[in-house]
Amino acid sequence: MFDSLSDKLQSALDGLKGHGKLTEKDIERAAREIRLALLEADVNFKVVKDFVAKVKERAMGVEVLESLTPAQQFVKIVNEELSNLMGSATAKLVFSPRPPTVIMMVGLQGSGKTTACGKLAKFLLGQGKSPAMVAGDVYRPAAVDQLKALGGQLNVPVYDEGTNADPVDIAKHGLEWARQTGRDVLIVDTAGRLHIDETLMEELARMRSQVKPHNILLVLDSMTGQDAVNVAVQFQEKVQFDGVILTKLDGDARGGAALSVRAVTGKPIKFASTGEKLDSFDYFHPDRMASRILGMGDVLSLIERAEGAMDEKKALELEKKLRKSQFTFEDFLDQLQQVRKMGSLQSILGMIPGAGKLKNLQIDDKAFDRVQALIHSMTVEERRHPELINGSRRRRIAVGSGSDIQAVNQLLNQFKQMQKMMKQLGSGKIPKNPFQMMGM
């Protein structure tokens, strides 16, 4: 989502590099480019004005003008102010000392609210919680069925009373049911509308009064730009939410909502949804997002993803094999599957400092589907001993995977290169081009 903004901000900051000293004229020019970049990204005008004023005020001071590395100091200021703009620190959920903790989800229809309920439930499962959900959206067709389907997929119970009951009563009864069944978190899905109206707000206010939620989260579609900010302001006036869930951050919109909503409402962005899969959901880290926007990567998130995806036992087994210069297609397939648990490779690339500038590096995740199909078409013996794969075996593998001989040959050639590199790793040598290890 932030690709265009990121490119323009980095271009503005790159223009300062190489200057032994920065003049006020240099700073004015950079500030003007930053202002235009933020406005084009659909950031609220007042937010942009305040942001640029703070950057200029700090940049005109001693820390930049008299610094030995003025360009780096200026980038540091922009990074810090961008982080402050989005909330400075990561805002976590509030958990009640007396379960269940009640989380009420609010937002307009079409913002991805029901899906966000499922994603939040999966996130909480990963945190060691035992969540349950309440189907309180009785107006949108199939909303109850959608939530129940998500619950079934996650093995998370869903309380519902059909579509004829009062949503406030459903929430009250759902809370009692959660207490009786020993659930420690209750996620309440609520109805949305295509626009703000009094009926919606009155219903949400009654529900808040009855179930007394510990967290009210506003689900905003980040693709809607300034409209998302306007919606947030109205919900804040009527419902007084505690934090925001930004959905569809993997989209190609300009992303201004993410940079504006906290500054306008004073409420933090707590979660970000970055894909269609249920595990594409995590706490929103303003400092990490600021670093990514400025092309500095996000190493902490990359490490956390790796820790969550990688199997420590398998990693130790692979290390032993590498020391013996043993690396098979089974090992490769296992590593490939673990890497894919971390998300799309394009998103992983965005976390690597400086990698965002590799514009010509096109990574097709579907290519890995094709690689997996080729390996699955091999026999166990062929995976362990690729040297056995002759002409007739190549034809069989190609047919079995729905591919052709060229694809099989290409995979075998890449695998030979990988084996050589793995031998280098096993002997303590580092490959000159690690990207080749994944056939990029």
**What is the model's pLDDT at position 320?**
60
Residue whose pair of structure tokens reads 């978190």 in the numeric block: 185
pLDDT at 177 over 90: yes
The residues of the chain that CATH labels 3.40.50.300 are 101-296
Question: What is the average pLDDT value for the chain, to the nearest integer?
Answer: 78
Tens of pLDDT along 95-107? 988 889 999 999 8
pLDDT higher than 70, residue 171: yes
Distance, CA of 125 to chain centre: 17
List pLDDT tens digits, range 18-33. 666 777 888 888 888 8
Mean pLDDT lowest among 79-93, 206-220, 387-401: 79-93
Identify whether the C-beta of residue 153 lies closer than 8 Å to the C-beta of residue 207: no
Evaluate if pTM is beyond 0.75: no
User: Where does the chain hold its CATH 1.20.120.140 domain(s)?
Assistant: 3-85
| Residues 318-370: tens digit of each pLDDT | 556 555 556 778 777 777 777 666 666 555 655 555 555 544 455 566 777 78
- Pick the closest to residue 106 from 192, 165, 173, 230 (CA basis): 192
Residue 439 pLDDT: 44
**In 3D, which of 407, 322, 348 has the Cα closest to residue 372?**
407
**CATH classification for the domain delimited by 101-296, as one of 2.40.70.10, 3.40.50.720, 3.40.50.300, 3.40.50.20:** 3.40.50.300
CB 192 within 8 A of CB 113: yes
Residue 434 has pLDDT above 50, yes or no: no
Residue 432 pLDDT: 42
- Within 10 angstroms of residue 178's Cβ, the number of other Cβ atoms is 26
Q: Which of 32-36, 117-121, 216-220, 276-280 has the lowest mean pLDDT?
A: 276-280
- Architecture (CATH level 2) of domain 302-438: Orthogonal Bundle (1.10)
- The class of domain 3-85 in CATH terms is mainly alpha
What is the DSSP code string of 29-48?
HHHHHHHHHHHHTT--HHHH
Q: What is the pLDDT of residue 435?
A: 42
pLDDT at position 414? 81
Q: How confident is the model at residue 298 (pLDDT cuts 50, 70, 90)?
A: very low
Q: What is the Cα–Cα distance from 188 to 175, expressed in whole angstroms?
A: 9
